[in-house]
């Protein structure tokens, strides 16, 4: 691949894009990120991603290096320079390079490291998996207590994905105190008697930007939404299940820990929500 990568103000060929070995993200996972989908060359749900970036940076006391207008301009430049039609833009901001390793934060005037890169996914919105649905297994949620901050410490989600693969599934749902928190890289939902049930917002889960939009569209379409945690057993006896994320949009789940939901096919609520989300967010794309 020969992508153009953004590093601290420069647009570089990917093999020349480099950060320091002393970067806090490398040494301490001291950084945050955002992922914005691109469909037809336009950014999906972009204001939401910028708002969450600010929230994550504030939680870690890292200064936001750019205004919203600058972030938009950089994202658009990345779309243009990479001829990105469908895919994702990853944006990473770390606490920067203090020049040495130390647990204490470096002085506040240490410039953050800013990296953006793209992943091209032609036909991102026409995924084959949306037609068949995905299988999930459950694993214990042993992540830290501030899952609402979108940090780059993705080791356990990555391990979870491997546990799922080894078990012949597509992804894992994490469980704490017998209640499902979320998927390795997505928010989790079940549908029972037409009602959409998903865990409420707290420090236990990432506040998904896709979640916020999907719940808004669901309520606008007069669907009933209940924000509360659910158990694995309740999920296995639900009529349907699905996940949401910026890159998967709304994706049906058809099996949980080897138990098929309903007829083992994507259900009508997940299918409808995927259509509504894709239609509405394409209209609002910038
Ligand atoms: N939860 C976790 C743990 C995630 O990593 C993600 C995706 N980054 C989500 C939920 C979904 O968030 P969003 O809809 O903003 O992509």
Say how far apart CA 55 and CA 269 lie, in whole Å: 31
The full length of the chain comes to 286
pLDDT surpassing 80 at residue 55: yes
Q: 166: Cβ–Cβ under 8 A, 6 or more apart, which residues? A: none
Token readout for 110 is 């240490």
Q: Which of 141, 156, 180, 246 to mutate to test the pocket of ligand 1 (most atoms within 8 A of CB)?
A: 246
Q: Which residues of 70-81 are buried (b: 16+ CB within 10 A; e: fewer)?
A: ebbebbbebbee
What are 76-125's pLDDT values in tens digits? 999 999 999 999 999 999 999 999 999 999 998 999 999 999 999 999 99
Ligand 1 center from residue 73 Cα (angstroms): 24
Q: Which residues of 21-36 are buried (b: 16+ CB within 10 A; e: fewer)?
A: eebbbbbbebbbbbbb
Annotation says 150 is catalytic: yes
Q: What is the mean pLDDT of the chain?
A: 97
What confidence score (pLDDT) does residue 262 get?
84
Say how far apart CA 150 and CA 185 lie, in whole Å: 11
What are 196-239's pLDDT values in tens digits? 999 999 999 999 999 999 999 999 999 999 999 999 999 999 99
Say how far apart CA 272 and CA 148 lie, in whole Å: 28
- For residue 181 and ligand 1, the question of a CB distance below 6 A is answered with no
The residue whose C-alpha atom lies closest to atom 2 belonging to ligand 1 is: 185
The residue whose C-alpha atom lies closest to atom 10 belonging to ligand 1 is: 186
Confidence of residue 67 (pLDDT cuts 50, 70, 90): very high
Among 42, 121, 150, 265, the active-site one is 150
- For residue 151 and ligand 1, the question of a CB distance below 6 A is answered with no
CA-CA-CA-CA torsion sign (64, 66, 72, 78): negative
Say how far apart CA 244 and CA 106 lie, in whole Å: 36
Q: 154: Cβ–Cβ under 8 A, 6 or more apart, which residues? A: 185
Token readout for 75 is 């994202």
Ligand 1 center from residue 246 Cα (angstroms): 7
Ligand 1 center from residue 245 Cα (angstroms): 5
Provide DSSP, 127-157. Answer: -THHHH-EEEEEEE----S-TTS-BS--HHH
Instruction: With 0.85 as the threshold, say if the pTM is over it.
Output: yes
Ligand 1 center from residue 187 Cα (angstroms): 6
Structural domains of the chain, ranges and CATH numbers in brackets: 4-124 (3.30.470.10), 129-284 (3.20.10.10)
- For residue 187 and ligand 1, the question of a CB distance below 6 A is answered with yes
What are 117-133's pLDDT values in tens digits? 999 999 999 999 999 99
């Amino acid at each position: 691949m020969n992508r153009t990568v953004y590093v601290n103000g420069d647009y570089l060929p990917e093999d020349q894009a480099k950060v320091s070995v002393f970067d806090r993200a490398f040494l301490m996972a001291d950084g945050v990120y955002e992922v914005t989908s691109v469909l037809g060359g336009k950014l999906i749900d972009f204001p939401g991603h910028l708002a969450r970036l600010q929230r994550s940076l504030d939680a870690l006391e890292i200064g936001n290096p750019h205004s919203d207008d600058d972030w938009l301009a950089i994202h658009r430049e990345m779309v243009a320079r990479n001829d990105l039609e469908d895919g994702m833009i990853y944006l990473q901001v770390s606490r920067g390079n203090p020049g040495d390793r130390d647990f204490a934060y470096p002085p506040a005037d240490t410039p953050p490291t800013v990296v953006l890169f793209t992943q091209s996914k032609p036909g991102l919105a026409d995924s084959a998996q949306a037609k068949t649905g995905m299988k999930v297994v459950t694993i214990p949620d042993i992540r830290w207590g501030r899952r609402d901050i979108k940090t780059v410490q993705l080791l356990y989600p990555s391990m979870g994905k491997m546990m799922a693969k080894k078990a012949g599934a597509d992804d894992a749902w994490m469980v704490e105190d017998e209640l499902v928190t979320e998927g390795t890289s997505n928010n989790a939902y079940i549908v029972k008697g037409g009602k959409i049930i998903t865990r409420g917002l707290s420090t236990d889960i990432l506040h998904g930007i896709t979640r916020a939009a999907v719940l808004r569209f669901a309520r606008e379409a007069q669907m009933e939404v209940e924000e509360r945690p659910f158990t694995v057993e309740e999920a296995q006896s639900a009529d349907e299940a699905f996940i949401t994320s910026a890159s998967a949009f709304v994706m049906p789940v058809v099996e949980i820990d080897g138990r098929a939901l309903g007829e083992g096919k994507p259900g009508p609520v997940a299918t409808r929500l995927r259509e509504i989300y894709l239609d509405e967010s394409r209209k609002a794309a910038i």
